[in-house]
A and B are shown apart, each in its own frame.
Chain A
């Protein structure tokens, strides 16, 4: 129930010592409280005066308060410790995502990564602060109460002691049965639950198809089936709570009856009997509480496991620094025998195989291929997000690189994907992303060059307009232009990596964006992955990818009309190269 990885947390020993001490004091207070209460009750039973009650009542009440204070102290200590660890883990997780990079994030899904950081950590917090004090309570409270009961009345002590393993035994049996049963039903259960959400989400479609009325009855019948399934899962869980309750209350009843008989035959007196009876429920309390919270802590345990797994994922190494001033007109990049393999793919399937590529100066290189041919994988590799296999040879201006995950290379690169990253801020702040300290004039000029002028003129706040989530919505074309303005602002980034920048745009927007981009190509090394053929005429070199391999490479003039890979692709993609209408 307690996750082993908790023992690796910083200062966990100290924390457990503190909690143990508090639990110990609390257990002592519980015993003292019982002693005071029993003495007071015995005094009443003995028909003594009120003055005889005062001392025991004082003992009872002070012990009672001390016990409650220990609860406060334990919770406070555990909560504080949990918060401390969350504060420690949060940046570690984010840093880990940073190091693992966008390619990793894309594979696991951004949504689930965000969930780990936000909801996952909440659950971990609840787990830590619940489980730690419960564990120390489970050790000390039963132990001390048992010792005292033994001391006063060994027979009651034995009854309690016998009940304990019995309870654990039944809990274990029922727990296993419950798990087996719920595993078996869990699939149905979630399917039925999801089916409701599914139907609600698909409601517009159902309505469109004119079948929404028929589904109303189905919702009810599916929900009722869901209820039956849930009830059978709940019954098992409740049965285990019932068993736990049953044995603890039964133990109290047995002790009471047993003590009664012993009192009648005179073998004991009232005080030890009463104190045993009062301590019996206290003896079982921590176990019952643990049972109640068991399901609540399960989520936290799983979340902690997820966090641990994430932090244990190996991070791609950062390539060594080189003596390099950045990309220039006479720079040279050579890739030889570059292979790439996705970590979760089968061992023998390479996503990129035997890539040879040369880029010099301000060349414009198109990478073209059908969906799934490896264009994006290659772009991710060039940006340093994917790491090549061993044996790849990369040279940048004569110096070897082990990968593109290299600070100086990345400082020279702009990476423009299909959906550029727009964060919630002003347009100006978005444009300043690469150069946070750029002057207003420079931002304005970049915006103008990127073709944002008309749009900005129509906005009352101009460059200071807030955009991004929950703000003013912007179109795909505008997002691309902001990304372009970012590039224009940073004169150091001479390498432009484009990954299908216009795939989602309508034809008119694409046409206009192209007019903006073409002048930019002149003084940059451009590597442009696309499946839109019209870009090819603007390129010096064309690389055709098929199944992760380069099948053809050369200028447009060299490749056209040879009946090779490019011609085949053009035939499939464009089809009617001679405008169909021309014949009309």
Chain B
């Protein structure tokens, strides 16, 4: 096959994903007793299924010889019933226990994911669409859950049954045992490997095409207005079609493979049945006493097909799981690599005297543009500083550098002369930071705001809501503070979410407030009101805020305009207004002088 060259290295990639793994093997080593029990009960299920047919076959064969009385078949009668009940009962036990075990592992995996992510502040900020990535990582955990249930457990049980069948047969005929073991090796090793290889080649194509289809279709849907007014229904209708049809063909090829693969496995079992018939005839066809076992032996083969058949398909799902596992392990590796050398931590300063950026240069990488280039800024305690400039020009970077989430290539950032790296432990007590897309948890308003101060009384919460102008809105809700903010805060408008998050920070009473575009997307009336509230709430604090409008600038001590990593305009707003024509023009535009 021409794809083999491409897929072989990929197979090796899978092995690499297993190497140095922190997310899968460690859990298989835990709770071994329970795991052994699961496998034991799983094997028992198939023993019962085979034994049911065995005893039934023996029972009727023996009965057909017209024994003198019923007691001659008493044991097989009892066993038949026992196995008949045993099979579903063990299956039930196996399923319950394996789900329980896996969900227990999931609980631990979740903690591990949380802990890993929490460790790596850089990861949180390097990825712009963090939300999307976090969602994907949560999906990866779900995949691991299925990996245990759908691939690992059935495969191990099948292998154990394989071993057992070989041993049992070996007691009677070691030649037959070897033959059967080898034939089953084809079903349990060779075919699954072929299956994995086939799946691997399809998986890569399908994954890439599906992602591309998502992008294309989403784009077309977002731009539907333009398609409609240009009447290009055909082009719109065809969006993502080629991706979909390539995926469809790839899936169809995979399904075709699966059909014929299962057929081939069944043919092997058919041949095995023929061999078994001939073998029993040779070994048991000598006397009636032995011949009574012939039907028993042959019939017990068929239930075992259910045990061996799923292994090949289980292997075909490995690419998906490997992918997820690789994501998680990459995360672990990147967190371990990014872990900063420990720095002796200083205590939080009681009051802010001075925040200083001293000739700071920052870029995300050596080939990336310099977002800040020899940037210096001094902010005194209780000053209000506005940072302006076009988007993508490093305004947010200034805040992240100050927080210590990013480290500059050159220069130093200090608070009261202490480098920010030494203030990481004190950071929550020092800075209140409102990012551009503040996150609200899907719990009550009270719980969301209390995140700022876990022991805050309702009075304090109401005061904070009052400060951001939401007290009336919340009071009008039937459940008041107990209203659940629906997922991602969708119950509230963008501006209201922003203000809820702001209330949380105000409640925290940190000496420094860092706000990133607190009013973007708001209409001027709301913007105006919110800026006034922010100014009022930050009376005794140091405030640095990134903004795209000039609202609220009247009360700022400094305004800084960034262009290409440099300060292009800076000063007291009143001074700028008096001396700088450009500032005056912008100001006039912003307030909309008529």
Contacts and interface: CB of A to CB of B under 8 A. Distances in A.
A573 B100 contact: no
Contacts of A245: 87-88, 91-92
A329 interface: no
Given A90-B244, A245-B91, A424-B215, A204 B439 contact: yes
A575 to B, nearest CB: 6
B236 A94 contact: yes
Contact of B390 (A99, A212, A509, A581): A509
B214 A259 contact: no
Q: Which of A250, A263, A433 has the most CB of B within 10 A?
A: A263
Given A90-B244, A256-B80, A208 B433 contact: yes
Contacts of B218: 110-111, 114, 469
B85 interface: yes
B135 A79 contact: no
A204 B516 CA distance: 15
B521 interface: yes
A504 B259 CA distance: 54
Contacts of B134: 197, 200-201, 203
Interface in B207-256: 210, 213-231, 233, 236-241, 244-245, 248, 252, 255-256
Interface string A11-47: 0000000000000000000000000010011001111
A475 B63 contact: no
Contacts of B27: none
B463 interface: no
Nearest to B294: A44
B554 to A, nearest CB: 5
Nearest to A238: B95
Contacts, number: 457
B241 to A, nearest CB: 7
B259 A75 contact: yes
Contacts of B439: 201-202, 204-205
A71 B227 contact: no
A98 B210 CA distance: 22
Nearest to A43: B281
Given A87-B245, A202-B439, A507-B550, A114 B523 contact: no
A10 interface: no
Q: Which of A44, A117, A214, A570 has the most CB of B within 10 A?
A: A44
A559 B233 CA distance: 43
A260 B60 contact: yes
Interface string B583-594: 011111111111
A450 B70 CA distance: 100
A428 B125 CA distance: 33
A510 interface: yes
Nearest to B395: A506
Nearest to B577: A581
B177 interface: no
Interface in A228-255: 230-231, 234-235, 238-239, 241-242, 245-246, 249-250, 252-255
Contact of B442 (A195, A241, A246, A266): A195
Interface in A262-278: 262-264, 266, 269-270, 273-274, 277-278
A422 to B, nearest CB: 8
Binding site of A, secondary structure by majority: helix, strand, loop or mixed?
A: helix
A356 interface: no
Contacts of B524: 531-533, 572-574
Given A113-B221, A231-B100, A473-B392, A79 B252 contact: yes
Contacts of A234: 95-96, 99
Interface in A208-234: 208-216, 219-220, 223-224, 226-227, 230-231, 234
A61 B107 CA distance: 50
B280 interface: yes
A30 B282 CA distance: 26
Contacts of B593: 534, 574, 577, 579
B106 A57 contact: no
A198 interface: yes
B584 to A, nearest CB: 8
A95 B237 contact: yes
Interface string B115-132: 101100100110000110
Contacts of A40: 277
Contacts of B548: 504-507
B267 A90 contact: no
Contacts of A281: 53, 302-303
A546 B258 CA distance: 63
Contacts of A266: 66
Contacts of A95: 233, 237
B63 A260 contact: yes
A44 B589 contact: no
B77 interface: yes
A118 B220 CA distance: 14
Contact of B270 (A61, A207, A584): A61
A129 to B, nearest CB: 8
A215 B288 CA distance: 72
Question: Which bracket fits the contact residues of B?
Answer: 35 or more
Given A101-B224, A415-B229, A118 B210 contact: yes
B388 interface: yes
Given A65-B270, A245-B91, A573-B592, A207 B100 contact: no
B221 A110 contact: yes
Nearest to A50: B281
Nearest to A203: B117
B582 to A, nearest CB: 9
A576 B593 CA distance: 9
B474 interface: no
B228 A384 contact: yes
Given A94-B237, A205-B439, A413-B229, A577 B219 contact: no
A169 interface: no
B125 to A, nearest CB: 8
Contacts of B267: 65, 68
B565 to A, nearest CB: 14
A174 interface: no
Contact of B578 (A102, A532, A581): A581
Given A61-B274, A507-B548, A556-B594, A421 B64 contact: no
B526 interface: yes
B356 interface: no
Contact of A507 (B255, B299, B549): B549
Contacts of B88: 242, 245-246, 249
Given A98-B233, A533-B524, A249 B60 contact: no
Interface in B262-284: 262-263, 266-267, 270-271, 273-274, 277-278, 280-282, 284
A422 B77 CA distance: 75
A580 B587 CA distance: 10
A261 B130 CA distance: 70
A574 B591 CA distance: 5
Contact of A469 (B60, B138, B215, B248): B215
Contacts of B408: none
A201 B135 contact: yes
Given A274-B295, A511-B585, A194 B487 contact: yes
A264 B66 contact: yes
A560 interface: yes
A382 to B, nearest CB: 11
Contact of A75 (B55, B219, B255, B586): B255
Q: Which of A41, A266, A507 has the most CB of B within 10 A?
A: A507
B475 interface: no
A410 interface: yes
B233 A209 contact: no
Interface in B336-390: 388-390
Contacts of A565: none
Given A98-B237, A200-B113, A507-B549, A83 B252 contact: yes
7 contacts: A41-B295, A195-B442, A260-B62, A270-B61, A273-B60, A411-B231, A469-B218
9 tightest Cβ-Cβ pairs between the two chains A and B? A210-B428, A533-B592, A421-B223, A253-B84, A256-B56, A223-B107, A245-B88, A506-B548, A263-B63
